[in-house]
């Protein structure tokens, strides 16, 4: 009977120095005692017949006090995150990854489970969630075309990775911003089980459990689940109602068959039901009308409302609060066979989402921008690839193909009853069909003197169309719009060189071209021109990086500098509809750029102290971007009560992304009598100011913020259990997590207040 020891993020025992190339052993529950390095280059001959968690130990490896030692020899800027670090920093949703990775901003759309990504300045606010994001999410090597599909799945994880920059020549799909890769624990060949209970402020409860083991010869399984309840911290001072309680449960299962030592066949599936309430908007400025705003600042107070007529229209009960009514499920089949010279991998997956989201976007008791959105979507993906090596491991290669087919139907309901310029309820409906296919390959060759050259190429065809779009005013007219389509045929690629100039130091340089297909804006459509597709986005990225352990076991420093040259960068701009008002619209900035750096410092300066610090800094601007100046247009309307588009070219204007992001932690590991151990320390996060409109200033920008947390964990001598007390946002700072615009107000989505909690975890 073994237990998963909860280790500090920096104190995971390592397994190798430069020449140790084998994978290392992990505990049966899936957390590494000697971390498995997950590099950008897949191994030439993976051991598919061995589950993650039971691979061999390199007995010649040297102990390291830092995680993922083998990845120090991979030429990339990927941030690798252990399961223990994710748990210690309370990363339980996809958006929590911005607390532990540099140059990453992940934000909720109007307080809901849908998210937007910004990585190294690449990203955009896809409020309709019907387009491919610039940063793709992968769960167990399955790409999620729509980020919301990962909602509720961040439990029983083995590790996570955040890779910035263009990707797609080694697996999956091409994109311009990067990837977030999540890996859940695999089945084990011996019996193990465990659970975790976490209770915190505002009656928040999180529970997890898993069981894993053999079923018959060659057969094993893993079943894991989680529930989330409570935690609602917003309240309405007018009626004392509170808002934000979680109500989610999720299950994930894996069934693995290993008929021989060269073949693995695994069937996986998951189901998530999410009926959680959401964080609602807090208005910060009124653009239209004279009604006073609640004026609650960014504290716990908020106002919302849903008229019974609107709740009845969307098929929900009276007293509807801002909330989710979402269901996700999916299944995947993977087949891995080692032929000797090459290993074959095939992954087939089918994912679905059924969403029903109600948000009060004006943030007042009036019905001026109440919105209910339904999404019915499914995605089928198929990937096949061969990984191989030759010439005594000097030559490594991968070739493969990827296919994706998605179908989506959306319907937006709007309640504008109290907005005098409209005074009605309406709905916009549309369908979306998409299909793409790509072929990719990557080859690397190791020269003398520890120099390695590599190159990759990807070709992708993408075809998508929007159909059946209607805009219906209830009790009024219905508009029917013509279908639109867009297709792309593009190449992406990468070339690079790395030099392991010291056993503990690697220098690399690479150039990458990324590609992302075009799409459509389909929210609140009033004129046919709003359905004109935006163009594909391409980026040429130059990156110079260093990975080093200058004092092995004591100091690690990784850093990368980058420059992005964008063409037709996809940006949320503004379109003015005459006699209607400004609307957000995804469009293209013909020319733009961004540059910056990120770094990770890990230090074990003495005895019991371990320090981790991530830093990300980036700048960027538009070099050519003609569009409507929303601030000037709104100001003109305030002065004249007339809508007139004020055009300008945003040449030289900052791209609006946070310039500086910081996050880190310090942990003191203190041995105690009788074999107990106490881990304690603070953690912190800073995010700079971020624009929510192009060229935004004043309330058009989210203010910067700094958050402080802390934890203390008691580990048992038997390693069967651990107990943690923690605090998040200790200083109870008021801050804006994201923001946007409704019909009459600009609003912020406030971040969580102080949470104090505790958890106990057991693993057998």
Q: What is the pLDDT of residue 706?
A: 97
- What are the distances in angstroms from CA 763 to CA 29, 184, 708? 7, 16, 29
State the pLDDT confidence band at 718, using cuts at 50, 70 and 90.
confident
Token pair listed for 373: 């959105």
- Residue 660: Cβ-neighbour burial (10 angstroms; 0-12, 13-18, 19+): middle
Q: What is the pLDDT of residues 475-523, one digit of tens each?
A: 999 999 999 999 999 999 999 999 999 999 999 999 999 999 999 988 7
What tokens does 344 get?
């074959």
pLDDT of residue 222: 98
What's the confidence (pLDDT) of residue 623? Answer: 95
The pLDDT confidence band at residue 596, using thresholds 50, 70 and 90, is: very high
**What is the spatial distance between Cα 439 and Cα 357, in angstroms, rounded to a whole number?**
37
- Please state, in angstroms and rounded to a whole number, the distance separating the CA atoms of residues 165 and 76: 10
The per-residue pLDDT for 247 is 97
Instruction: Say which DSSP state 96 is in.
Output: G
The helix/strand/coil state of 134 is: coil
Q: Which range, 109-123, 143-157, 333-347, 578-592, is most confident?
A: 333-347
For 449-465, the pLDDT digits (tens) are 999 999 999 999 999 99
CB 726 within 8 A of CB 705: no
Rounded CA separation 191/21 (Å):
29
The DSSP result for 173-204, as a single string, is: --BSSEEEEEEEPPP-SS-EEEEEEEEETTTE
What pLDDT is attached to residue 675? Answer: 93
What would the pLDDT profile of 614-635 be if each residue is shown by its tens digit?
999 999 999 999 999 888 888 8
CA 529 to chain centre: 32
The pLDDT value given to residue 491: 94
3-class SS of residue 533: coil
- Which residues 6+ apart lie within 8 Å of 631 measured at CB? 693, 695, 696, 697, 700
Q: Which residue has the higher pLDDT, 409 or 33?
A: 409
Is the pLDDT at 64 greater than 80, yes or no? no
In which order are the strands placed within the sheet that holds 79-82? 79-82, 157-164, 178-184, 135-139, 142-144
Question: Do strands 135-139 and 178-184 pair parallel, antiparallel, or not at all (unpaired)?
Answer: parallel
Homologous superfamily assigned to 70-214+221-230+242-283+302-763: TonB-dependent receptor, beta-barrel domain (2.40.170.20)
Q: How many other CB atoms are found less than 10 A from the CB of residue 468? A: 12
Q: Given CA atoms 86, 89, 95, 101 in this order, what sign does their dihedral have? A: negative
Contact 13, 57 (CB under 8 A): no
Q: What is d(CA 591, CA 292) in angstroms, rounded to the nearest whole number?
A: 41
DSSP category for residue 293: P
**Res 59 pLDDT > 60:** no
pLDDT at residue 51 is higher than 60: no
Range of lowest pLDDT (323-332, 361-370, 496-505): 361-370
| pLDDT tens-digit readout, 630-644 | 888 888 888 888 888
Report CA dihedral (668, 707, 184, 141) to the nearest 10 degrees.
-130
Nearest to 64 by CA among 10, 11, 21, 14: 14
- The DSSP result for 575-592, as a single string, is EEETTTEEEEEEEEEEEE
Q: In this model, does residue 27 exceed pLDDT 60?
A: no
Q: Measure the CA–CA gap between 522 and 470, rounded to whole angstroms.
A: 10
C-alpha Rg value of the chain to the nearest Å: 26
Tell me the two tokens of residue 148. Answer: 């919301």
> pLDDT tens digits for 123-142?
888 878 888 889 999 999 99
- Highest mean pLDDT, choosing among 19-33, 457-471, 689-703: 457-471
pLDDT at position 22, please? 33
Q: What's the pLDDT score for residue 41?
A: 34
Nearest to 83 by CA among 15, 156, 151, 14: 156
Q: What percent of the chain has pLDDT over 90?
A: 71
* Pairwise CA distance, residues 707 & 705, whole Å: 7
The helix/strand/coil state of 709 is strand
26-35, 168-177, 654-663, 689-698: the lowest-pLDDT one: 26-35
Sequence-distant (6+) residues with CB within 8 A of 219 are: 255, 256, 257, 258
Are 687 and 704 in contact by the 8 Å Cβ rule? The answer is yes
Q: Is the CB of residue 176 less than 8 Å from the CB of residue 515?
A: yes
Query: With bands split at pLDDT 50, 70 and 90, how would you rate the model's confidence at 109?
Result: confident
Stretch 312-336: mean pLDDT: 94
pLDDT value of position 524: 72
Q: How confident is the model at residue 291 (pLDDT cuts 50, 70, 90)?
A: confident
**pLDDT in the model for residue 209:** 98
Say whether pLDDT at 53 is over 60: no
The reported pLDDT for the residue numbered 79 is 96
The answer on pLDDT for 740 being more than 90 is: no
Which is nearest to 693 in space by CA: 604, 625, 751?
625
305-309, 378-382, 440-444: the lowest-pLDDT one: 305-309
Average pLDDT of the chain is 88
């Amino acid at each position: 009977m073994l237990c998963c020891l909860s280790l500090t993020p920096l104190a995971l025992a390592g397994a190798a120095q430069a020449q140790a190339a084998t994978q290392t052993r992990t505990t049966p529950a899936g957390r590494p005692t000697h971390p498995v390095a997950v590099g950008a280059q897949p191994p030439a001959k993976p051991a598919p017949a061995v589950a993650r968690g039971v691979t061999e130990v390199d007995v010649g490896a040297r102990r390291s006090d830092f995680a993922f030692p083998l990845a120090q020899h991979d030429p990339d800027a990927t941030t690798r995150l252990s399961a223990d670090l994710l748990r210690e920093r309370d990363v339980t949703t996809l958006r929590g990854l911005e607390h532990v990775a540099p140059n990453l901003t992940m934000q909720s759309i109007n307080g809901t489970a849908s998210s937007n990504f910004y990585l190294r300045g690449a990203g955009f606010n896809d409020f309709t969630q019907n387009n491919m994001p610039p940063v793709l999410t992968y769960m167990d090597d399955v790409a999620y075309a729509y980020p919301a599909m990962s909602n509720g799945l961040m439990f029983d994880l083995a590790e996570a990775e955040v890779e910035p920059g263009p990707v797609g020549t080694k697996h999956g799909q091409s994109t311009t911003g990067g990837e977030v890769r999540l890996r859940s624990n695999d089945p084990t060949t011996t019996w193990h089980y465990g659970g975790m209970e976490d209770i915190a402020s505002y009656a928040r409860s999180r529970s997890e459990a898993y069981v894993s083991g053999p079923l018959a010869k060659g057969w094993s399984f893993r079943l894991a689940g989680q529930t989330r309840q409570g935690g609602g911290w917003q309240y309405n001072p007018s009626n004392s109602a509170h808002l934000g309680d979680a109500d989610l449960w999720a299950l994930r299962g894996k069934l693995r068959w290993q008929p021989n030592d060269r073949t693995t066949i695994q069937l996986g599936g998951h189901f998530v039901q999410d009926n959680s309430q959401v964080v609602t908007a807090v208005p910060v400025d009124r653009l239209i009308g004279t009604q006073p705003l609640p004026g609650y600042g960014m504290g716990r107070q908020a106002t919302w409302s849903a008229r019974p007529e609107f709740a009845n229209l969307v098929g929900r009960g009276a007293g509807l609060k801002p909330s989710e009514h979402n269901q996700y499920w999916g299944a995947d089949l993977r087949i891995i066979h080692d032929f000797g010279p090459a290993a074959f991998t095939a992954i087939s997956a089918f994912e679905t989402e059924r969403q029903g989201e109600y948000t009060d976007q004006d943030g007042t008791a009036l019905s001026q921008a109440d919105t209910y959105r339904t999404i019915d979507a499914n995605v089928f993906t198929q990937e096949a690839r061969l990984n191989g090596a030759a010439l005594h491991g000097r030559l490594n290669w991968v070739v493969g193909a990827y296919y994706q087919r998605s179908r989506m139907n959306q319907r937006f309901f709007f309640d504008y009853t109290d907005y005098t310029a409209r005074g009605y309820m309406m709905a916009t409906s549309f369908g979306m069909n998409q299909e793409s296919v790509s072929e990719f390959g990557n080859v690397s060759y190791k020269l003398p003197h520890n120099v390695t050259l590599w190159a990759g190429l990807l070709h992708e065809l993408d075809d998508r169309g929007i159909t059946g779009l209607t805009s219906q005013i209830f009790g009024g007219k219905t508009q029917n719009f013509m279908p639109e389509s867009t297709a792309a045929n593009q190449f992406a690629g990468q070339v690079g060189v790395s030099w392991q100039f010291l056993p503990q130091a690697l220098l690399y340089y690479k150039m990458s071209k990324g590609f992302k297909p075009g799409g459509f804006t389909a929210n609140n459509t009033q004129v046919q021109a709003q359905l004109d597709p935006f163009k594909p986005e391409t980026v040429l990225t130059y990156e110079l990086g260093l990975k080093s352990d200058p004092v092995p076991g004591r100091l690690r420093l990784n850093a990368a500098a980058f420059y992005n040259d964008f063409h037709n960068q996809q940006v949320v701009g503004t379109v003015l509809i005459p006699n209607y008002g400004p609307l957000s619209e995804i469009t293209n900035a013909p020319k733009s750029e961004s540059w910056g750096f990120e770094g990770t410092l890990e230090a074990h300066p003495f005895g019991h102290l371990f320090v981790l610090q991530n830093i990300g800094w980036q700048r960027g601007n538009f070099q050519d971007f003609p569009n409507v100046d929303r601030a000037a247009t709104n100001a003109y309307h305030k002065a004249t009560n007339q809508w007139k588009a004020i055009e300008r070219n945003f040449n030289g204007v900052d791209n609006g992304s946070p310039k500086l992001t910081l996050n880190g932690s310090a942990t003191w590991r203190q041995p105690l009598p009788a074999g107990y151990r106490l881990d304690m320390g603070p953690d912190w996060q800073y995010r700079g100011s971020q624009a929510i409109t192009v060229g935004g200033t004043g309330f058009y920008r989210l203010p910067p913020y700094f958050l402080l947390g802390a934890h203390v964990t008691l580990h048992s001598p038997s390693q069967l259990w651990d107990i943690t007390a923690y605090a998040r946002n200790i200083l109870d700072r008021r801050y804006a997590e994201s923001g946007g615009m409704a019909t009459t107000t600009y609003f912020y989505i406030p971040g969580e207040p102080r949470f104090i909690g505790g958890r106990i975890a057991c693993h057998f």
